Structure 1
Amino acid sequence: MGKGSYKKLKGSQNFRQRLILATLSATPIIIKGIRANDMLPGLRLHEVSLLRLLEKISDDCVVKINETGTMVQYKPGILMGGRHLVHDCGESRAIGYFLEPLLVLGLFSKKPLSIRLKGITNDSNDPCVDTFRSTTLPLLKQFGVPSEGLELKIESRGAPPHGGGEVLLSIPNIQSLTAVTWIDEGMVKRIRGVTFSTRVSSQFENTIIHSARGIFNHLLPDVHIFTDHKAGPQAGNSPGYGISLVAETTSGCFISANTAVSYARAEDGGMEDEKGELMPPEDVGEQIASVLLQEIEQGGVVDTTHQGLLFLLCALCPQDVSKIRVGKLIPHGIEVLKLIRDFLGVKFVIKPDPSTGTVILKCVGSGLKNLSRKSS
């Protein structure tokens, strides 16, 4: 694509993936018609916040938004990384929404990235910060990312609608990823988890654990779920509770499920005066245990929430064959595959495996190298 020519896109879908791929492939993009026919047209607060975050971690990137917010012009700059950065993620989406772009872009920055993110740590829309710690970071290690300098520290919790949580994310920068052959999902050998509660009785956590274990104890003995009850300033500004579970298999796969219960935000149709009924903790425990078992039953080396990230990492590998197995392809995963084809020119060979009901994907990576990193 010639310099100065913008790739034209339409609509508000897959906003994060478009920005990640545009940045890594150094492709300027224009997105038009963002919720043009909605009652509230244009970009949402979290999308603007994500653009501001990209400006913080890169040098010379240009973002232009028109008056109604229905059109964005984005010209990627050089990913710089950097230490002691701070970003307020706002209250319209959880910190999990911002973590995935940071993880991928941080790896290809000039300097290692360490950033403090403020906002909502656990909600029911986005993967919670515990799942990132237990599942997403080990996923990066499969692709040769060193564990030194890769961590997520939860300093305080924040539940919707008013957040108040803080996490500290550190990501090393690398020269390039390594291609993977990762098709053996193994058998589940243990289940780990962590519950959290803020501004409610800590007894809620024990109830969640008791009901989740009631299901798992029939299946395997090695189940440990830890509690994390926060009080005072570390509990954020809103009451809430929830759980993040991860099943570890004999071949080193991590399958996760998480949920959180809290009062609705105003824009989700909730009332600001917080008088709704919350789901009882025993139901939360049973429900999340069932969700995790469904994820395990589907097969594949990652759960459905990590499908898009897995495809992206495979596409960014050196020009070598990566081969992976997933459960069933979800719509988001298919969209990511299309975007990878459009931006990086990487096509996946998709082959169903009828004997297990899973899907095997193969691709040759785009050979992305981190040219701005100083090689030692």
Structure 2
Amino acid sequence: MGKIPYMRLKGSRSLRLRLLLSTLSSTPILIEDIHAEDTWPGLRPHEVSLLRLLEKVSDDCVVEINETGTKLKYKPGIVTGGRNLIHDCGTSRSIGYFMEPLIVLGLFGKKPLNIRLKGITNDAKDPSVDTFKSTTLPMLKQFGVPSEGLGLKIESRGVRPHGGGEVVLSIPIVQDSLKAVTWIDEGMVKRIRGVTFSTRVSVQFENAMIHSARGIFNRLLPDVHIFTDHRGGPLAGKSPGYGISLYAETTSGCILSTDTTVCYASTGDDDGGGAEEGNRDLGHPTDTGEQMASALLGEIKEGGVVDSTHQGLVFLLCALCPRDVSKVRTGKLSGYGMEVLRHIRDFLSVKFDIKPDPNTETVILRCVGCGLKNLARKIS
């Protein structure tokens, strides 16, 4: 057997993206100097957990980590998918960190994916499970992903520092390949929807957020509904917190979203504490509602068919489409979006043509997809 040619990379930057593209393109990678300059060098717990998750949904995947955790060899296998899988994401990062690569990989699996993910459902760093349910999964339908078998069920919520949430994610496979898109009409906002949640705190936190957010939106349009999801007992996880997820639907079927979570750990004290102590440090929900309403209006003002959080995912899906032209319109390119474009070029040899539209202050991106086919799917 010949020597395996590894793509050599350095540093911890975009590790999740590199592992995803390595798997999709069947490119073995060797990453050195992972967090090498940090006080505690080596892979972080959430990065190790992601590798274990990739092993769980793949067959013949090989992971080698050196003793210090600063060097990783990853040889991707075949994505198998499967039903009734379970993965504990831990409390280092939220479930949203794991779901984005999982959603894309699941589309190209041998079998549809059904997996129970445990950990933190809502935090301020990663997109919440509510955003995935309202915005991310519906967006996949633009690329020809079937609605049947596509879903996310939030069984219990969990926030930092101790988590305790559970969700069940279902992803169907694409029978052959994705569908190239021409997605440049963002339309006009016709309604705003959202959901607030609270765990181990009073439901009044949710009411205050809704009142302040509606105070901004109702000046602009009448069709605004924000629902509540108050959890108690075992369904409320292990830590106190609250949050809000908002999304705007447009006349052309685009969905723009924003969300945040406020919890005890986000105040800078990560050692937990009782619910009473957490409540005193959970800030003002009125301010949270106003900030997220303003943030959503900011996303709408930027223009484009997706919000800044979803730019990278849209670029990746366009690059995986058949060898046909895909065209999308976005607002100002985010830092993560540009990072995704560079990695797509390196792993998939797909380059995007980027042209600003001075009339709308948006950006139009075109590419010819790499033509990735789901060769792993089970043939009946």
Give TM-score, length-normalised by structure 2.
Answer: 0.96
Q: Does 1:88 align with 2:92?
A: no
Q: Kindly indicate whether residue 351 of structure 2 is the aligned counterpart of residue 347 of structure 1.
A: yes
Match of 1:362 in 2: 366
Find out whether 1:121 has 2:125 as its counterpart. no
Q: Which amino acid aligns with 2:161?
A: P
Q: Distance in 2 between matches of 1:47 and 1:209?
A: 35
Alignment of 1:274-285 (within 5 A): 275=277, 277-285=281-289
Native 8 Å contact 2:161 2:271 kept in 1: no
> How many Å separate the matches in 2 of 1:33 and 1:272?
32
In the alignment, is the contact (CA less than 8 A) between 1:265 and 1:272 conserved in 2?
no
Alignment match, 2:217: 216
Corresponding residue number in structure 1 for 2:239:
238
Deviation at 1:273?
3.2
1:230 Cα shift? 0.6
Distance apart, 1:272 and its partner CA: 3.4
Stretches of structure 2 lacking an aligned partner (at least 5 in a row): none
Match of 2:339 in 1: 335
1:254 aligned residue? 255
Query: Contact 1:265 / 1:271 at 8 angstroms: preserved in 2?
Result: no
Distance in 2 separating the partners of 1:211 and 1:49:
38
Contact 1:240–1:260, Cα closer than 8 Å, also in 2: yes
CA distance in structure 2 between the aligned counterparts of 1:265 and 1:28, rounded to whole angstroms? 37
Q: In structure 2, how many angstroms separate the alpha carbons of the residues matched to 1:17 and 1:229?
A: 34
Which residue in 2 is equivalent to 1:19? 19
Q: List aligned pairs for 1:1-376, cutoff 5 A.
A: 4-174=4-174, 175-264=176-265, 270-273=270-273, 275=277, 277-375=281-379
Aligned residues: 374
CA distance in 1, matches of 2:328, 2:273: 47
Which 10-residue stretch deviates more, 34-43 or 211-220? 34-43
Deviations 1:169-214 (A, max 9, x none): 0000112100000000000000000000000001111110000000
Whole-angstrom distance in 2 between the partners of 1:162 and 1:288: 24
Q: State the SS of the aligned residue for 1:160.
A: coil
Offset from partner CA, 1:11-68 (integer Å, 9 cap, x none): 1111111011000100000010111011011111000000000000000100011111
CA distance in 2, matches of 1:128, 1:223: 20
SS in 1 for 2:378: coil
Following TM superposition, by how much is the alpha carbon of 1:279 offset from its aligned partner in structure 2, in angstroms?
1.9
How far, CA to CA, are the matches of 1:312 and 1:144 in structure 2? Answer: 15
Query: What is the letter of the counterpart of residue 287 of structure 2?
Result: D
Aligned-partner Cα distance in 2 for 1:329–1:372: 34
Rounded to whole Å, the distance in 1 between the matches of 2:115 and 2:270 is 31
* Equivalent-residue separation in structure 2 for 1:231 and 1:35 (angstroms): 39
CA distance in 1, matches of 2:158, 2:272: 17
Change (3 A) 1:269 1:234: closer
- Aligned-pair distance for 1:278? 1.6
Write the distance in 2 (CA, Å) between the matches of 1:67 and 1:290.
47
1:269: how far off? 5.5
Q: Which runs of 4+ in 1 moved over 3 A?
A: 268-276
Cα displacement string for residues 63-109 of structure 1 (whole angstroms, at most 9, x for unaligned residues): 01111111110000010000100000000100000000110000000
Q: Deviations over 1:357-376 (max 9, x none)?
A: 10000000000000111345
Percent pairwise identity: 73
Code of the aligned partner of 2:143: F
Q: Secondary structure at the match of 1:233?
A: helix
TM-score (normalised: structure 1): 0.97
